[in-house]
């Protein structure tokens, strides 16, 4: 059992609910409306482009499921075009509000701290037009939003729940070659947000431990809530995994008998797509006969430090002599992405750091096993030896060996596919939303008790 006041626990079987605990009569009051903050990336943006990724999926899916629990969500994000309307209904009960803060285009994430005052002003202006108590709670995502969150939550007299998603100290301890360290200003900013939040959301027990170790977070304020996956969209074909794989390959123009190791994600050193390419080059050098039956799709766009060399991965493929087997594809919508998962023999995630790894769970939900780095939350997202393979470190030779195991034993994909589907089913968004609602409830209760007793949060 976790030492954190979490609603969800890790286990080999996936996600389990804590047993209910006795509560005072007023403890179950859930918030009616939550102000959710996502400064640097909009939930309306296509994941896999720019700074949009797993966090975008997380915010969209969590908001939808919270709305299904009668918790309205208003998501504040920075306007990136003058043509954007002030607000957009994302789903029933979920509203996206666009806040003018800095130039619409050409503003890098690193330049956003200078616009936080303007963003905070925009959020408080929206609040000023509402009745007192319009928002019961603020939920901020990533450290930039956390700064806005601590100011607005204090002004409104409501709890702040914050999700780090990634942490500067953790990323800096696991930098890829050529990647840029996170600045000291971010480390300081994260420390301030950790001190201000009523509750801190960690994706896994390991992330919770990192919050305590690196940022000296208060154990009682850390809650572990696993992210979820859209099990309606990401699922095997109704005809079965094998038939679905064949159909998906046909739709995508991929050969039926190929070994297809798939990479999905933003193209940047942190995600380490270069490790996959180097592994494939090693594999083909040692077993050249595989060249005729291997296709390596890379689905995603440049992001972060990868923007400095947007063609870098294509050039690497050329230098390695594998341009003929690598297929670069731009980011795609969720339905098309599910087809790529179904078509693949295995998903490869050699990331240097992952707070959880939603892509890994999405692939498994479609029946595709995963080869992943044994970092961050990936040991929770992937069940080693059952639904996939965890690789210690980032040596391309280790990934080449893992890939060859699938090439040498085609039935291995079939065996792991069923286990992958079972494992992924424990990560539904409905379960995650219920757990998050419980965290909100505890934050509200703790805040109201502190107000009655004249104590800080």
186 is in an annotated binding site: yes
Whether residue 379 lies inside any domain: the answer is yes
pLDDT tens, 159-201? 999 999 989 999 898 887 777 899 999 999 999 999 999 999 9
142 is in an annotated binding site: yes
- Please tell me the predicted confidence (pLDDT) of residue 142: 92
Whether residue 120 lies inside any domain: the answer is yes
- Check pLDDT > 80 for residue 300: yes
Q: Are residues 17 and 45 both part of a single domain? A: yes
47 is in an annotated binding site: yes
Q: Are residues 373 and 247 both part of a single domain? A: yes
Whether residue 454 lies inside any domain: the answer is no
46 is in an annotated binding site: yes
334 is in an annotated binding site: no
Q: Are residues 277 and 158 both part of a single domain? A: no
315 is in an annotated binding site: no
What is the rounded CA–CA span in Å between residue 425 and residue 431? 11
Query: Pick from 358, 428, 360, 334: which is nearest to 65 by CA?
Result: 428
pLDDT tens, 72-100? 999 999 998 888 899 999 999 999 999 99
Q: Are residues 216 and 319 both part of a single domain? A: no
- Check pLDDT > 60 for residue 25: no
What is the rounded CA–CA span in Å between residue 37 and residue 416? 38
207 is in an annotated binding site: no
215 is in an annotated binding site: no
Q: Could you give the number of structural domains in the chain?
A: 2
457 is in an annotated binding site: no
- Joined together, the tokens standing for residue 26 give 């007023």
268 is in an annotated binding site: no
pLDDT tens, 303-314? 655 444 558 899
7 is in an annotated binding site: no
341 is in an annotated binding site: yes
Q: What is the mean pLDDT of residues 265-279?
A: 93
- Please tell me the predicted confidence (pLDDT) of residue 309: 55
Tokens 């074909």 belong to residue: 237
- Please tell me the predicted confidence (pLDDT) of residue 57: 86
141 is in an annotated binding site: no
Q: Are residues 316 and 262 both part of a single domain? A: yes
- Check pLDDT > 80 for residue 206: yes
pLDDT tens, 221-244? 999 999 999 999 999 998 999 999
- Check pLDDT > 60 for residue 219: yes
Q: What is the mean pLDDT of residues 109-136?
A: 86
Q: Percent of the chain at pLDDT above 70? A: 88
- Please tell me the predicted confidence (pLDDT) of residue 259: 96
Secondary structure tally for the chain: helices H, strands E: 15, 16
172 is in an annotated binding site: no
77 is in an annotated binding site: no
pLDDT tens, 371-416? 999 998 999 999 999 999 999 999 999 999 999 999 999 888 888 9
Q: Are residues 97 and 166 both part of a single domain? A: yes
- Please tell me the predicted confidence (pLDDT) of residue 131: 80
Please tell me the least confidently modeled range out of 124-133, 231-240, 257-266, 328-337. Answer: 124-133
40 is in an annotated binding site: yes
Whether residue 440 lies inside any domain: the answer is yes
Q: Are residues 285 and 256 both part of a single domain? A: yes
Whether residue 27 lies inside any domain: the answer is yes
Query: Pick from 353, 351, 348: which is nearest to 368 by CA?
Result: 348
Q: Are residues 434 and 394 both part of a single domain? A: no
Whether residue 332 lies inside any domain: the answer is yes
Q: Which residues pair with 347 in a beta bridge?
A: 262, 370
- Check pLDDT > 60 for residue 24: no
CATH number, residue 174: 3.40.50.2000
What confidence tier does 52 reach under pLDDT thresholds 50, 70, 90?
low
Higher pLDDT, 2 or 237: 237
Whether residue 263 lies inside any domain: the answer is yes
52 is in an annotated binding site: yes
Look at strands 199-202 and 222-224 and give their pairing.
parallel
Q: Are residues 408 and 432 both part of a single domain? A: no
342 is in an annotated binding site: yes
CB atoms within 10 A of CB 256: 9
Q: Are residues 96 and 142 both part of a single domain? A: yes
Q: Are residues 435 and 420 both part of a single domain? A: no
Whether residue 299 lies inside any domain: the answer is yes
Please tell me the least confidently modeled range out of 230-239, 272-281, 343-352, 363-372. Answer: 230-239
Domain that holds residue 339: 241-424
Q: Are residues 93 and 154 both part of a single domain? A: yes
What is the rounded CA–CA span in Å between residue 297 and residue 39? 31
Longest dimension (CA), the chain: 74
């Amino acid at each position: 059992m976790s030492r954190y006041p979490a609603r969800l626990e890790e286990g080999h079987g996936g996600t389990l609910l804590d047993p209910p605990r006795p509560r005072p009569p007023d403890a179950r009051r859930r918030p009616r409306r939550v102000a959710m903050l996502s400064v640097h990336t909009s939930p309306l943006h296509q994941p896999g482009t720019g700074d949009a990724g797993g966090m975008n999926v997380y915010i969209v899916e969590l908001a939808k499921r919270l709305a299904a629990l009668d918790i309205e969500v208003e998501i504040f994000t920075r306007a990136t075009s003058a043509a954007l309307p002030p607000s957009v209904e994302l789903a029933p009960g979920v509203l996206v509000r666009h806040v003018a803060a800095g130039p619409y285009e050409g503003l890098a994430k690193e330049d956003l701290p200078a616009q936080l005052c303007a963003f905070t002003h925009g959020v408080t202006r929206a609040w000023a037009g509402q009745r007192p108590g319009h928002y019961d709670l603020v939920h901020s995502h990533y450290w930039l939003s956390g700064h806005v969150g601590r100011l607005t939550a204090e002004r409104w007299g409501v709890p702040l729940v914050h999700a780090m998603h990634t942490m500067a100290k953790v990323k800096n301890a696991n930098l890829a070659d050529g990647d840029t360290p996170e600045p000291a200003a971010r480390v300081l900013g994260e420390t301030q947000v950790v001190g201000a939040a009523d509750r801190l959301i960690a994706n896994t027990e390991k992330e919770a431990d990192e919050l305590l170790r690196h940022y000296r977070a208060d154990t009682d304020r850390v809650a572990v809530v696993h992210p979820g996956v859209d099990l309606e969209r990401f699922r095997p074909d109704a005809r079965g995994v094998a038939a679905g794989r064949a159909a998906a390959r046909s739709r995508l123009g991929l050969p039926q008998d190929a070994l297809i190791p798939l990479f999905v994600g933003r193209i940047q050193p942190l995600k380490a797509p270069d490790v996959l390419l180097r592994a494939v080059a090693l594999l083909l050098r040692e077993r050249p006969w595989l060249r005729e039956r291997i296709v390596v799709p890379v689905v995603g766009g440049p992001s972060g430090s990868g923007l400095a060399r947007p063609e870098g991965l294509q050039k690497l493929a050329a230098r390695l002599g594998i341009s003929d087997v690598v297929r670069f594809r731009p980011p795609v919508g969720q339905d098309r992405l599910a087809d790529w998962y179904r078509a693949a023999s295995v998903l490869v995630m050699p990331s240097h750091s992952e707070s959880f790894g939603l892509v890994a769970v999405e692939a498994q939900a479609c029946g595709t096993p995963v080869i992943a780095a044994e970092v961050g939350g990936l040991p929770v997202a992937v069940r080693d030896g059952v639904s996939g393979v965890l690789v210690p470190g980032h040596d391309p030779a280790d990934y080449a060996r893992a890939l060859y195991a699938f090439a040498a034993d085609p039935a291995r994909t079939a065996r792991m596919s069923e286990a992958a589907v079972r494992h992924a089913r424990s990560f539904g968004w409905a379960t995650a939303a219920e757990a998050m609602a419980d965290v909100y409830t505890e934050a509200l209760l703790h805040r109201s008790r502190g107000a009655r007793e004249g104590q800080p949060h």
